[in-house]
Amino acid sequence: MKSSPKSLPSTSPAVAVVAVDSRRDLQMRIGVIVAGFCTFLPIYATQPLLPEFRRIFSASALAVSLTVSAVTLAIAISSPWIGSLADAVGRKRVIVAAILGLSVPTCLAATSSNLSQLIAWRFTQGLFVPGIIAVTLAYIAEEALAGTAASVTAAYITGTIMGGMSGRFIAAMIAEHSGWRQAFVSLGLTSLLCGLLAWVLLPRSRRFVRQRNLLAPLRSMVAHLGNRRLLATYFVGFNALFTLVGVFTYANFYLAGKPFGLGLVALGSVFLVYGLGVVVTPAAGRVIDRYGYRSGMVMALTIALAGLLLTLIPVTWSVVLGLALLSTGIFIAQSGASSHVGVVAKTARSSAAGLYVCFYYLGGSLGATLLGWLWRTHGWTGCVACVAMLQVFSAAIALRWFAPASSEKVAAPTGPDACPPG
């Protein structure tokens, strides 16, 4: 008797589904890294160029610092509203359109004939940024495979850190050899390429549900502004970017002057200390989990304060080490403050997160501007004194209003309630 041959299916349906999901997960991870990278590539790119702008435009340090604060101000203004637009038209559409849109004013900034035009183009850049930051995090919360949202978000944050470092270094290096206009053109073309890559790589939405009631987030924002613990959290977020932008803006003038005398490329290299964020950001969550929001925040702000004081020693290695410690403490504080929003806001976490981003970038805008007055009158010592007092005040607020260890927990929010980090 002949045995009939067994017919084996070429591919099991379960195996096919796993293969499709794996490919989708890989595409999403690469896509969000690209989105994060191109978002932060141009935002702070002018920081190492500020001493050069002061010479070219015959302007004060405060005036050229507006090329930084104009971007963060625009981000703060547009952040609370971009979520409603994405809720209406779709996540991926807004993300890709924002990246492509960002490339246009980045390139056009190179055509500026005076400082006012450059500041105007920088402000325009900032209007596109929230369409990438907030919407990408909402997209991840909705579309990531089950159990992968945290790691995909970490991939996105890694992309933002890489973009922030690269933008400063690339701008300084190109400006040193080819001029600042070519630096903007290069950053703009890179953003354009990233936008096209994001269009191809980011998987199409599967779980997006169009929202019709666009006034609901506005009502939620009003309610959040009456929550003292949320306001305390927003202030700590405000302090985080006030410190980062303010200190790293005027550190350029400090290090470009005597006794340091650093050039453009050397100034751009200083920002490589941001690479610590790649390590610190994932570790920050474990620090908060172990010590609680209250103790973790005080610890983070103490590290930042120690680093800040170290920059007063007029030796290059001491200033760079101080900036590294400062950024480490602020990265932990930023991570803790952004996740604390999800603890305090029991409902409507999307609008609570939108307000957090607004206060966060408002802090960056004011940090670059207000410290300019102190730089002009009291130099680096005055800037350090102001920021040091702000760290102490923020620590006091955290002690009063932040959750103690293990006293409050919240499940990681998903979908429209996802609370993005700053």
End-to-end CA distance of the chain: 73
Residue that the structure tokens 């977020």 belong to: 237
Residue that the structure tokens 């080490």 belong to: 321
How far is CA 347 from each of CA 134, 153, 388, 416, rounded to the nearest angstrom?
18, 21, 34, 11
Supply 369's token pair: 């501007």
pLDDT given for residue 135 in this prediction: 79
Asked whether residue 82 is assigned to any structural domain, the reply reads yes
pLDDT given for residue 408 in this prediction: 52
pLDDT given for residue 406 in this prediction: 40
Q: Which amino acid is at 54?
A: R
Asked whether residue 195 is assigned to any structural domain, the reply reads yes
Q: Which amino acid is at 144?
A: A
CA–CA separation, 234 and 338 (whole Å): 8
pLDDT given for residue 88 in this prediction: 63
Per-residue pLDDT of the chain (422 residues; tens, 9 = 90+): 455 555 545 556 655 556 667 888 888 889 999 998 998 999 999 999 999 999 999 999 999 999 999 999 999 888 877 766 666 677 788 889 999 999 999 999 999 999 999 999 999 999 999 888 877 877 877 777 776 766 777 788 778 888 988 998 999 999 999 999 999 999 999 999 999 999 999 888 776 666 666 666 677 777 778 899 999 999 999 999 999 999 999 999 999 999 999 998 899 888 888 777 667 766 776 777 778 889 989 999 999 999 999 999 999 999 999 999 999 899 888 878 877 877 787 766 667 777 888 899 999 999 988 999 999 999 999 999 999 999 999 999 999 999 775 445 443 333 333 333 33
Cis ω before 80 (30° cut-off from 0): no
Asked whether residue 335 is assigned to any structural domain, the reply reads yes
Asked whether residue 53 is assigned to any structural domain, the reply reads yes
Q: Which amino acid is at 64?
A: V
Helix-strand-coil split of the chain, %, nearest 5: 80, 0, 20
Question: Residue 419's closest CA among 343, 361, 358?
Answer: 343
Q: How many CB atoms sit inside 10 A of residue 18's CB?
A: 11
CA–CA separation, 187 and 108 (whole Å): 11
Residue that the structure tokens 């010590």 belong to: 291
pLDDT given for residue 153 in this prediction: 73
Asked whether residue 217 is assigned to any structural domain, the reply reads yes
CB-count burial class (<10 Å; 0-12, 13-18, 19+) for 147: exposed
Interior CA angle at 80 toward 74 and 86, to 5°? 105
CA–CA separation, 156 and 24 (whole Å): 15
Helix (H, G, I), strand (E, B) or coil at 58: coil
Count of alpha carbons within 13 angstroms of residue 351, beta-carbon side: 16
How far is CA 313 from each of CA 39, 280, 353, rounded to the nearest angstrom?
34, 25, 38
Asked whether residue 12 is assigned to any structural domain, the reply reads no
CA–CA separation, 96 and 101 (whole Å): 8
Structural domain for 264, as ranges = 20-417
Question: Residue 20's closest CA among 151, 153, 206, 159?
Answer: 206
Is 61 within 8 Å of 375 (Cβ atoms)? yes
Asked whether residue 326 is assigned to any structural domain, the reply reads yes
- CATH number of the domain bearing residue 295: 1.20.1250.20
Is 187 within 8 Å of 172 (Cβ atoms)? no
Domain count, the chain: 1
pLDDT given for residue 324 in this prediction: 93
- Residue positions counted in the chain: 422
CA torsion sign, 46 to 51 to 56 to 61? positive
CA–CA separation, 166 and 269 (whole Å): 10
pTM of the prediction? 0.80
DSSP one-letter code for 204: P
Asked whether residue 286 is assigned to any structural domain, the reply reads yes
